[in-house]
Structure 1
Amino acid sequence: MEDYLEEEFFLLCALYGKSGKMPMKDERGDLDVSEVVKPVQATLSSLKMLDVGKWPIFSLCSEAELQLVRQACVFGSASNELLYTTVNDEIFVLGTNCCGCLGLGDVQSTIEPRRLDSLTGKKIACLSYGSGPHIVLATTEGEVFTWGHNAYSQLGNGTTNAGLVPYHISTNLSNKQVIEVACGSYHSLVLTSDGEVFAWGYNNSGQVGSGSTANQPIPRRVTGCLQNKVVVNIACGQMCSMAVVNTGEVFVWGYNGNGQLGLGSSGNQPTPCRVAALQGIRVQRVACGYAHTLVLTDEGQVYAWGANSYGQLGTGNKSNQSYPTPVVVEKDRIIEIAACHSAHTSAAKTQGGHVYMWGQCRGQSVTLPHLTHFSSTDDVFACFATPAVTWRLLSVEPDDHLTVAESLKREFDNPNTADLKFLVDGKYIYVHKVLLKIRCEHFRSSLEDNEDDIVEMSEFSYPVYRAFLEYLYTDSISLSPEEAVGLLDLATFYRENRLKKLCQQTIKQGICEENAIALLSAAVKYEAQDLEEFCFRFCINHLTVVTQTSGFAEMDHDLLKNFISKASRVGAFKN
């Protein structure tokens, strides 16, 4: 992160000269660069603008205090506990303090924010909570701290004594960097940077994955079927655990009385077991409700299984399902799923920005995904879940200043500050030579002795070249999958490997039956093997429709021959 900030700072200085001043479009006048750099680390990881006022407990904070909030978590059996961090990396807590879950060293409730001094200066990477409640927190440095309810050793400190202050877990984790945490009702999981899962706490149903039902007082690595796997995502239901590995497979263990493990049975599982019904489907994320499970695939499809008494599976009925069942949300691709082990509520966000909810919503049973007026899945849990807790650690982006990254983004295609313009398809694109030379090896050499202020470009279209230049300012792209193919061509030509990966990601997100063959052809042409495999799997999974498209009928002969051969090898044409 520090290297990234240093580069962005240098770029900003280069753009605006040694004075360190940059023109702003508000009423504040010129702003010193140091004002922008100081808070940038707190904001680069922010997710979005968020109205924390949707959670009633925030009404206990003053307006001045709310302005400082950068991260927040609302938890507790009645959503009456709050932890938040400030722009100064201070952590504050307030609420009823059940079982010392505020970490203040006592069990006294407080309606005024109190600073958690023992963690001052620590930057929170992720946080989860149990039903007791207990807290598991990981810092950006990969350290793990726990406190709160501990009757089942869910704090991992080797005892069953309540943890009134944060406890730094070092046993079996001292040389590990934790990047994700998850809590069930009374058990805890952590995921390390090398893809290992560690578990501890309540184990009456095998939820710590040790092979027995004895409680686990300290962190132990979950092995078995996960021994040689690289885990990329974890989640917990009330008494079950889930892990997604880098191959897209899902492994599950623990309580299965409602079919929440997706194994086609209701028997508990004391060690990790692969969800065989998802064979051939690559899962990216998993989310657990009280007794139901959601997964999101790399094609933007959602599958659900488990308890369904409130319609939380989104199937249109209230029958439990022990096998993965597809959840239909119009025709838009899903990019985010949300569930929380303390609730029977489900939510999802589409690529088009629409947010859906289903399950128990303010006491009502919503059995099919319902389109909301929200822009965030977080709002669903604030307004409709019972209790109204947060399903993840919230990140709040301040709006009273521009970060370095935001300032650079604003200067793209700005004729007032640019010293170079590209002429593409009769249109100008305004840029800054120094930024292009810093960000791109191609421009570093091509612009070295070039004193012209206009460069004509005919090799690529205007949308593609504009997207490329904008990428150099923003590190992101926003294109249709068809245009992303053109950008993939450019990225290959300029040897921009990161841009190439972003193009492939965009193409994956926009693939459909109509364009699948065209995108497969592009992947083959530009030797994008991962994308080629993805497009091929998509075509096989939607073979009947794909073979009826004009793209298939006009398919290159050699590509068609190879496609049929490969499809035959995977059994696509068997009866």
Structure 2
Amino acid sequence: MAESSSTSRLSLVTRHEASTISHMTDLSRWSIFSILEPDVLTSIKKVCVFGSSGNEAIFLTDDDDVYAIGSNCSSCLGLGDTHSSFTPRKIEGLCKKKVVDIAFGSGPHVLAVTENGDVYSWGHNGYCQLGNGGSNQGFQPAIVNTNLQGKKVFHVACGSHHSMALTSEGEIYAWGQNNCGQVGTGTTTNQPTPRKITAVIGCRTVVAISCGQTSSMALMDNGELYGWGYNGNGQLGLGNNVNQPNPCKVAGALSGLIISQVVSGYAHTMALSDEGVLYSWGANSYGQLGTSSKANQVYPTKVERTERFVEIAASHYTHISAAMSQTGKVYMWGQCRGQSVTSPMLTRFNCVDDVFATFSAPPISWRTYSVEHVSGSRIAQNICKAFDDPVTADLKFVVEDREIHVHKSILKIRCEYFRSMFQSCWEEDGKDTIEITQYPYSVYRAFLQYLYTDQVDLVPEEAIGLLDLANAYCEPILKNYCEQIIKQGITVKDVAMLYAAAIKFEAKVLEEFCFRFALNHMTAVTQTEAFTKLDECVVKEFIRKAALAGAFKY
């Protein structure tokens, strides 16, 4: 059986989203938001915090209005003037445009992308980083037309004074300062307008980009990583300190791996494999590589952790790094409020964004952050606390000889299955104790707790049982939660079993995810015990799909 070629393998990377994993953060952690009125804070849906001291911010509201607040250095707030203000002011040129992504440079200059794929730029322009063909400062958002007209951009990234845009077709355009080759044109001449990067990568599809101060990275759809620009600290991961004006493939420890995420710090880079293994390289004077030392690394180096990571974070503005594990734990390392932390340190945060708001210097946002507002109502809090409370409960489930205390009214409100069960025509309606034998205790408890809290607290290994339950009880939202948990914990060893389960429970998104993962690790997967136990029909369908995806081409 021939393994698929690198050009036909499809990666597990999804298109850039403002918030890959949904978690709530407290906006007041960023000091610039702490002075806003509560009604303003609750209307915010996206934020971008930047500036040399974290003193500038742009935010979007539920009404699709765009506001700016802060010191307005180099007219980076896009308000048409140079006035600073602690009172939010509208950026009129972006209101009602449905902005989906914002990036910023060190000048600072700012880029914004709208839902229809248009790119706007403003702010500092001494190195042509606004892409308008000149070097005059931009006081208001102006659309970047040259070479991007007709292209749908969905993500932008900025280095110190250069800019990059990624289109829905997987093309990269770059412009601005190019003294170290960071624009990828093969020269060191500044680029005044967007120019498509084709050297080395040709017409291959790019799925993610990131910028260090004067370096650039691109992730291909087959999981391969390329870097170019300044390499004085080894941040390109090429095994040397030579600047590169054209994209170069990052190999070494990444050879044969499928990379699913890449982020860039000031002068270091981190990459996450599709199996949750973290690699870092580049500058390490503050411990930002997480390798328990301060020695620079010119090759990708594995960050030794027992937990699997599902999200990594860094910004070209800082020397701090952060990551989230599959169990929702958030770690940080590097320059944390002036201290050097050389290995991942567990925090009490529930999202990586809080690390940058609280411990980064300056306190900036590493991405356009989508705010998840959760009402602090006492009703919601009290309902959460009422779960498994024998004092107020009027019903208990017995699972594996263990009791779970609940309230019929809450179950009926939250779940159609229980609404039908607790009717006079059902035997269960008159009972105060119901025994459950179809599911294990941990799974059934997690399900009932979800009905009270809207949260799922299960490890990936147990989530497959909850997926079965969610499918049986017709709970599509819970089913989606389970799929997300399972995806974060997939390994070569169990992907075949999970693929079969996804088919059985009609979890189409999970099925496709498992298939792509198995395709990327075909040889190893086909030798696992789980694969040998697959039903014959499932194996035939898998082989058929793999053939269509080019797995057996020589």
TM-score interval, smaller chain: 0.7 to 0.9
Residue 260 of structure 1 aligns with an amino acid whose one-letter code is Q
1:176 aligns with 2:151: yes
Letter in 2 for 1:313: L
Counterpart residue type for residue 279 of structure 1: S
Matched, 1:531 2:526: no
Q: 1:373 aligns with which of 345, 348, 354?
A: 348
State the partner residue of 2:208: 233
Higher relative contact order (CA 8 A, sep 6+): 2
In structure 1, the residue matched to 2:112 is: 137
1:124 to 99, 121, 130: 99
For residues 83 and 414 of structure 2, the distance between their equivalents in structure 1, rounded to whole angstroms, comes to: 60
Flag the 1:223–1:503 CA change in 2: closer, same or farther, 3 A.
farther
Q: Distance in 1 between matches of 2:517 and 2:244?
A: 32
Q: Cα offset for 1:248?
A: 1.1
Question: Residues 72 and 557 from structure 1, CA distance in 2 versus in 1: closer, same or farther, beyond 3 angstroms?
Answer: closer
| In structure 1, distance between residues paired with 2:191 and 2:235 | 22
Distance 2:163 2:351 in 1: 27
Q: How far, CA to CA, are the matches of 1:179 and 1:146 in structure 2?
A: 14
> Could you tell me which of 239, 243, 246 is aligned with 1:268?
243
Deviation at 1:173, TM superposition (A): 1.9
Say if 1:485 and 1:519, in contact at 8 Å, map to a contact too. Answer: no
Structure 1: how far apart are the matches of 2:38 and 2:479?
45
1:98 aligns with 2:73: yes
- Deviation of the 1:94 alpha carbon: 2.0
- CA 1:532/1:87 → structure 2, altered by over 3 Å: closer, same or farther? closer
Distance 1:350 1:464, change over 3 A: closer
Counterpart of 1:303? 279
SS in structure 1 at match of 2:146: coil
Q: Deviations over 1:489-522 (max 9, x none)?
A: 899999x99999987764453346xxx6455456
Write the letter of the residue equivalent to 1:266.
Answer: N
Aligned residue in 2 for 1:351: 326
1:67 maps to 2:42: yes
Confirm or deny that 1:510 pairs with 2:483. Answer: no
Question: Cα deviation per residue 1:55-99 (whole Å; 9 max; x = unaligned)?
Answer: 222244334433332222221112111212222222221222111
Which letter maps to 1:353? G
Task: Percent identity, please.
Answer: 48
Using a 3 Å threshold, how does the CA distance of structure 1 residues 133 and 488 change in structure 2: closer, same or farther?
same
Question: Matches of 2:172 and 2:426 in 1, distance apart?
Answer: 55
Q: CA deviation at 1:215?
A: 1.1
- What's the CA shift string for 1:273-292, capped at 9, x where partnerless? 21122111111111100000
- Tell me, yes or no, if structure 1 residue 315 matches structure 2 residue 298: no
CA contact (8 A) 2:334 2:342 kept: yes
Cα distance in 1 for residues equivalent to 2:148 and 2:412: 48
Q: Which runs of 5+ in 1 are unaligned?
A: 1-42, 403-423, 437-446, 563-575
Q: Give the residue type in structure 1 aligned to 2:277.
A: Q
Q: CA deviation at 1:228?
A: 2.8
Deviation digits for residues 96-123 of structure 1 (CA, Å, limit 9, x no counterpart) = 2111111111122223222212222122
Query: 8 Å contact 1:362–1:386 — kept in the other structure?
Result: yes
1:463-491 deviation line (CA, Å, top 9, x unaligned): 8899999999x999876544555678899
SS of residue matched to 2:28: helix
Aligned residues of 1:70 and 1:87 also touching (Cα < 8 A): yes
Mark the CA change 1:201 to 1:435 in structure 2 (over 3 Å): closer, same or farther: farther
Counterpart residue type for residue 265 of structure 2: G
CA contact (8 A) 1:517 1:555 kept: no
Q: Name stretches of at least 5 consecutive residues in structure 2 with no aligned partner.
A: 1-17, 378-398, 429-435, 504-510, 540-554
Are the counterparts in 2 of residues 46 and 395 from structure 1 also a CA contact under 8 Å? Answer: no
Distance 1:518 1:176, change over 3 A: closer
Note if contact 1:60-1:112 (Cα within 8 Å) is conserved in structure 2.
no
Alignment of 1:167 onto 2:118: no
Structure 1 window deviating more from structure 2 (527-536 vs 156-165): it is 527-536
TM-score by length of 2: 0.73
Moved more, 522-531 or 145-154: 522-531
Q: How does 1:69-468 map to 2 (within 5 A)?
A: 69-277=44-252, 278-329=254-305, 331-400=306-375, 461=439
Q: What is the alpha-carbon distance in structure 2 between the residues aligned to residue 66 and residue 433 of structure 1?
A: 29
**For the residues of structure 2 that align with 1:221 and 1:239, how far apart are their CA atoms?**
18
Deviations 1:100-148 (A, max 9, x none): 1111111222232222122221222111100000001112222211100
